[in-house]
Structure 1
């Protein structure tokens, strides 16, 4: 893991000088990564740690601004990636799930030893930016990817220079995918989330999840305590022909009290955006261009969780590029395609849930052993200690 290896920290000035120098073939960079979220950061850090010249483009001037992620980190990511070094003040440990049927009947779920981390997500994204610079990547905030042209052995990125590899970690509507002729995500959920700073749930040690065909067809609603307050969200299947905005206010009026959210709260920040739900795109890498994270569709079709899978895939891509350029390893495009999780079972469950979601089975069977087993498989993967 990149987080456990010793590394040399470069100053911003020395980093800039190193990255602006062209090599003998006229390339300023070995890798240009578009997007500084989890997948992009993992890829860039893995490549930079191995000595590559890495540039990261992030369109936002503040990495913690206008987020589209819940920031909930599963145990595997919290223990097996660089995220294990997150400052304790940025996370809150959650060890159980309360699952609510449409009638608001509930069941408590847990797996011994398993947990989630809710986060101060803006602070986490700023921390990641610091990690990128600390590992020697040239992070350019406020610098959007606009265009790139194919050249012999790589890409010419407008406003940046020549790079041997271009990595798109720029979200569900990836510009890199469109420009490079790679596969694009076609199926989405649409989610919206409120932050209630300073609020506290009655049961702050559980992740509260609500099933409701009325408010969340194709997905769920949720409440969670994070380090700074409460996050409350709702997501549903996105149909471009009949676009529908989630009725989060109506959802909170019905479910908020059941979940222990105090009434008459005013939200602070609001997050919203598309969430891939169809598994990895078919044409994920080709001709020195590679997609990862949401841009590649590497998000669980069932839970919409993507941080752990995105980190693992991004890190694999960064390491594969380094192994290829430095040691003559296999083509990183091939490695990237092979490393993408297929989610075959979860894609089948997504298909069934989209077509056969009814409220009455959840109301009737909430406390039954089969439903409890299925829910524990989804939330915990039976990965307790």
Structure 2
């Protein structure tokens, strides 16, 4: 029995102590690092300026310099969504597309918008240009953010914008032509027409220091079309959507004829004219004829902004495409701020046909 014990002891002496159950007893009490699995939450929002910012890059800087789990882009409606670690709020956010950059902030919840209004409120709260705050800034104080938001909305009312005070521009869903979007359009159009400030960035330098007096007064747009005033009183208008008019009658435009147009695809000559309540777009064997009526279903509409668009969409007309008569055809006129036609497009749903004419 003693010999067996002795042999076991020799074997342990020649092998590692750990393999034989020996060694420092403290090793067995050490707590090993166990990898933790991060939990993510989904953040959604919209990115808007004059129009929805589509295919734009959305980025976030959260606690510990974390950000979105994967790259985030907006869709054609400016909508986006991305995942962040659930314990990394608050986050600074940015949207970037070409030369447009706007910023925002989220400290709780799962929804946040990014637009010029959130951008200016961030500047007011942080006292910094938003692009600098985004990279190096600190978390925003909740009370200061609320005060800045209230002061901004009060100033917008004083400047004759009709921004709804009940709407939270950071968290409430923003959609095309709703109250927030229409006021953003009015703001940018008014900023473009004032002569004191060079651009939006120049305004931000003043806003960050609390100088809200330089926010431009809302300018009522009076569109023209080839030196004739567009008669907005011929349309229905909801004051909540100051740049959007519907159910326009034939009195919207005086009679006209524009002949210096060509098809963008093949260079064929186009003619656009209005006589009485009928608007006609012609090229060779293709002709679009539609009545401009306040009884159209769906209603025609006029959208004002940097320039404007007249969209005539109804079933009370036909398109003669060779021998085909197409229904449900839309006719869109894009007009510059100076009242010149940028393009006129016609499109049919079934069968699908489309052509666009532009000035030579």
Higher helix share: 1
Higher strand share: 2
In the superposition, the TM-score normalised over structure 1's length comes to 0.25
In the superposition, the TM-score normalised over structure 2's length comes to 0.26
Structure with the greater relative contact order (CA < 8 A, sep ≥ 6): 1 or 2? 1
